[in-house]
Amino acid sequence: MEFASIKGFKDILPGETETWQRLEAAARRVFRPYGFKEIKPPILERTELFSRGIGLDTDIVAKEMYSFPDSKGNGMTLRPEATASVVRAYIQHKLYKLDPVQKLYTIGPMFRHERPQKGRFRQFHQINAEILGDPGPKSDADLIVMVMGLLSTLGLKGLSLQLNSLGCPQCRVQFKKTLNRYLAQKTDALCSDCRRRAETNPLRVFDCKVEACKEVVSEAPSILEFLDEDCRHHFRSLQEYLEDYKVPFILNHRLVRGLDYYNRTTFEIQTERLGSQNAVTGGGRYDGLVKILGGPDQPAIGFAMGIERLVELMEEDQEQESETPDLFVAGLGAKSERKVFNWVNELRQSGIWVDMVYAPKGLKAQMKQADRSGAKKVLIIGDNELEAGKGVLRDMTTKEQKDVPLDNLLETLKKEIG
């Protein structure tokens, strides 16, 4: 094969696109009553937007971005995530002047150069929603309730909401000190990766899957013990909203996010059914980001859902039967074929799904094709029927046939099919 899509980039074929559409439609339907508006930022941005926003030391920026110089030598990057772009647009168009609180969502492709595996692609798609300009915790709860609502209208089972607070930068200073001291004691018990992490990014040790490290981590100090008064109250209040609205969650003080901009509330919605790429949604608060990117000091919270991962779950849960034509029109002979072409297209203009053959075929072959297409009824019009001024309408399930006059054909068919 001379050409194939490049590694990690996939064609989404008919049969899958239906599920994609169902997911996107559900998202728009669920978001609307919450007052979320769609925003569609470009997928190419200046590299610095991401390096400054996401953090230079994150894996995403350090080794996963599709970055290249444009013809003038400016660093360009295919977006690895959407939040930075949404925040950029919020600042650029001074949306905060209309109303500091902006509820925005966007749906589209993201790009990260990672080794592909189950649930992970180099071009993948996300549904993102952000509430900009509100410090929470009511907005935190509102956002989480909204995602959980979307997931439950999709009928997905076996999902768990993991919740944590990373505190503010001030809380983390104390916590990191204590954690470093703890990890330094236990360094012999850690795997080689974690010894390195203990130096560079100690929070990541919490994510390690090596048994020995898990043990070390289970005894490790928890960030939650280091929250200051405000952060503690914020987190407590969020939990109360969720409890009142009966949203089940699991406190997970080891939940760490891979982007530097998060603070306070973080959450992840996980499934057990997708192998190791188990996060279908991740999000959290990023109160410092708007300012870091040159805007006013506005707080914000958001989430990202992985469309491919959700689609896979939806397909496992229910294989949906695809839609089928309402009518198939079989013409026989040159004269009738021209008439059929006109009738078929007029019916389509009124919204009825009508199929027909392109190449001339015998009636048997046309019936076979009609059957394969799943058409509910077949209208047969040959020279005999043209002569007699009436076509034959066959019901494919009951096998009943009846004559329909060709005068006023469209009205009759609309009634028969409706």
Name the residues that contact RNA, by CB under 7 A: 4, 6-7, 58-60, 64, 81, 112, 114-121, 124, 126, 193, 197, 204, 207-210, 256-259, 268, 275-282, 304-306, 308-309, 332, 361-365, 367-372, 378, 380, 382-385, 392, 394, 396-397, 399, 401
Decide whether 95 or 332 has the Cβ nearer to RNA.
Answer: 332
Of the pair 204, 232, the CB lying nearest RNA is at: 204
Smallest gap from Cβ 355 to RNA, in A, equals 13
372, two tokens = 């394969």
Residue 333 beta carbon to RNA: minimum distance, rounded to whole angstroms:
8
What stretch of H or E contains 346? helix 334-349
Minimum CB distance to RNA smaller for 72 or for 364: 364
The minimum distance between CB 166 and RNA, in angstroms, equals 13
Backbone angles phi, psi at 117, to 5 degrees: -160, -175
Reported as type and span, the H/E element at residue 96 is helix 95-98
Kindly give, in sequence order, each residue whose CB lies less than 8 Å from that of residue 109, ignoring residues fewer than 6 positions away. Answer: 43, 123, 124, 125
Minimum Å distance from CB 123 to RNA?
A: 9
CB of residue 159 vs RNA: minimum separation in angstroms? 11
Beta carbon of residue 114, minimum distance to RNA (angstroms, whole number): 6
**Of 70 and 319, CB closest to RNA:** 319
CB of 365 to RNA, least distance (A): 4
Please identify, using beta-carbon distances, which residue of 102 and 271 lies nearer to RNA: 271
Which is closer to RNA, CB of 231 or CB of 305?
A: 305
Please choose, from the candidates 127, 115, 111, the residue with its C-alpha nearest in 3D space to the C-alpha of residue 40: 127
What distance in Å separates the CA atoms of residue 192 and residue 187, rounded to the nearest whole number? 9
Q: Closest CB to RNA among 242 and 379? A: 379
The size of the chain, in residues, is 418
For the record, the structure tokens of 346 come out as 């007029």
> What is the DSSP code (8-state) at residue 117?
B
Q: What are the backbone angles phi and psi of residue 283, rounded to the nearest 5°?
A: -170, 180
Q: Which residue, 127 or 227, is less far from RNA as judged by CB? A: 127
Closest approach, Cβ 58 to RNA, in A, equals: 6
- Determine the Cα–Cα distance for residues 56 and 259; give it in Å rounded to an integer: 10
> CA–CA separation, 141 vs 161, rounded Å?
12
CB of 388 to RNA, least distance (A): 9
Contacts of 75 (CB under 8 A, 6+ apart): 46, 47, 48, 67, 68, 69
Helix axes 138-153, 17-31, angle to 10 degrees: 140
For 393, the 3-state DSSP assignment is strand
User: Residue 115 or 246: which CB sits closer to RNA?
Assistant: 115
Tokens found for residue 341: 């072409």
Neighbours of 313 (CB within 10 A): 21
Instruction: Kindly tell me which of 142 and 312 has the beta carbon lying closer to RNA.
Output: 312
Question: In sequence order, what DSSP letters do the residues of 225-287 get, joined into one string?
Answer: GG--HHHHHHHHHHHHHHHHTT---EE-TT---SSTT-EEEEEEEEESSSTT--EEEEEEE-T
Q: How far is the CB of 382 from RNA (least distance, A)?
A: 3
Q: Using the structure block, give the residue that is written with the tokens 């409890």.
A: 243
